[in-house]
Amino acid sequence: AQTVTQSQPEMSVQEAETVTLSCTYDTSENNYYLFWYKQPPSRQMILVIRQEAYKQQNATENRFSVNFQKAAKSFSLKISDSQLGDTAMYFCAFISLPSGTYKYIFGTGTRLKVLA
């Protein structure tokens, strides 16, 4: 069975500091995508960053970057220069695409609090 594990239920970081959120996954598929989604308090979930499994280069979006270790099945998110607006639940998600169907698997989330 495919699983996504986020082992850090809660984390905190000082404003302007760097924090890394961990995510591991398990799959026997070769063609898949990995995502980090952000859910601010009482607001909609939005995509932070995505990574195609066939790409070796780690994805980067401004202050957000990932460390994708395919062999270790690890997909961590690094937030640099943390801002108060980064306070949110962060979900790691996995999708494989056998036969063109979509089935997302999400982790249980990491609640990140950025401290002023």
Partner 1 sequence: KAGVTQTPRYLIKTRGQQVTLSCSPISGHRSVSWYQQTPGQGLQFLFEYFSETQRNKGNFPGRFSGRQFSNSRSEMNVSTLELGDSALYLCASSSRGPRTGELFFGEGSRLTVL
Binding site for partner 1 (CB under 8 A): 6, 33, 35, 37, 43-47, 50, 91, 93, 95, 97, 100-109
User: Closest distance between partner 1 and the C-beta of residue 76, in Å?
Assistant: 17
User: Closest distance between partner 1 and the C-beta of residue 17, in Å?
Assistant: 26
Q: Of 45 and 80, which has the nearer Cβ to partner 1?
A: 45
Beta carbons within 8 Å of 46's beta carbon, 6+ residues apart: 37, 38, 39
Q: Of 46 and 81, which has the nearer Cβ to partner 1?
A: 46
Q: Of 57 and 101, which has the nearer Cβ to partner 1?
A: 101
User: Closest distance between partner 1 and the C-beta of residue 114, in Å?
Assistant: 21
Beta carbons within 8 Å of 78's beta carbon, 6+ residues apart: 18, 19, 20, 21, 64, 65, 66, 67
Q: Of 33 and 64, which has the nearer Cβ to partner 1?
A: 33
Tokens of 8: 């850090």
What are the E-state strand segments in the chain?
A: 3-5, 10-14, 19-21, 24-26, 32-39, 46-52, 60-61, 64-69, 74-79, 88-96, 103-106, 110-115
